[in-house]
Amino acid sequence: MADLDPADQAQAVADVRDENGTPVIWLSGELDMTSVPQVRVTIDAALASHPGQVVLDASSLDYMDSSGIALLASLASKAREVQVRNPTLIVRRLIELTGLSQILRIIL
């Protein structure tokens, strides 16, 4: 069995852009326990300057584990409104199956 090397795994990338005063966080790659801490820093910085509405663009997010789900739940508790824009099918299904669709607004 091959050893798993964290350096070989696809990491999530979070890039913040401003759209009319609302931070849009573009997520790509894999949002898992190895990438969540760095993504959380980016999200927290965006929230510090714009505590109201946050938009996550998940159109390039290939994978998300329970750590990513926990991050989304935490974000929903900190911001007034969280939108998840264009989630990939797997990410949308995870949001729906976990019940987060009740507190996150999914924009297709």
The DSSP result for 18-55, as a single string, is EETTEEEEEEEEEESTTTHHHHHHHHHHHHHH--SEEE
pLDDT (tens digit, 9 = 90+) per residue, 59-81?
A: 999 999 999 999 999 999 999 99
Q: How far apart are the first and last CA of the chain?
A: 40
Backbone angles phi, psi at 71, to 5 degrees: -65, -45
Q: Where along the chain do its domains lie? A: 12-107
Under CATH, which architecture does the 12-107 domain have? 2-Layer Sandwich (3.30)
Beta-carbon contacts of residue 98 (< 8 Å; ≥ 6 apart): 69
- Check: CB of residue 28 under 8 Å from CB of residue 13: yes
Regions of the chain with pLDDT less than 50: 1-2, 4
